[in-house]
Amino acid sequence: MLMQDFLPVGIAIAERAKRRGGDGIWDALTSFPNPLQNLRSEGQEAAEEIREQLDKLYPGLGNPVMSVKVNIEEEESSDVSDIDELMIILEGIEDRIESVKEMLQD
């Protein structure tokens, strides 16, 4: 929450103070109907760059790692008839390979 909400606001306030001093901060707080939202949008781009740099330094520091729940459904075992069909197909392939080998030897 600190990185997502307060960092952009803090950066915007610092930039306004650097450019126009206390007047810049005062204007930001009194000139807009929702001053925090305006400051957050002003500082968002710079905050994203800082978070990216922090992530390069230590993954998850700038952008928090979200936990993910994964469910794995196991497939039911193959039906016996499927295995029987597979064996018939494989035997047919094996017979054709043997036929090709015999033709090549002749």
- Stretch 22-33: mean pLDDT, rounded? 81
Q: How many CA atoms lie within 13 A of 39 on its CB side?
A: 25
Q: Indicate whether this model's pTM tops 0.75.
A: no
In a domain, 39, yes or no: yes
In a domain, 100, yes or no: yes
CA–CA distance from 64 to each of 5, 28, 81 (Å)? 13, 29, 50
In a domain, 21, yes or no: yes
Residues with Cβ within 8 Å of residue 105, at least 6 apart in sequence: none
Interval 37-92: pLDDT, tens: 888 888 899 988 888 888 888 887 777 767 778 888 877 665 667 888 899 999 99
In a domain, 68, yes or no: no
Domain that residue 103 falls in: 78-106
Q: Are residues 46 and 15 in the same domain?
A: yes
Question: With left for phi above 0 and alpha for psi between -120 and 50, is residue 89 left, alpha or beta?
Answer: alpha
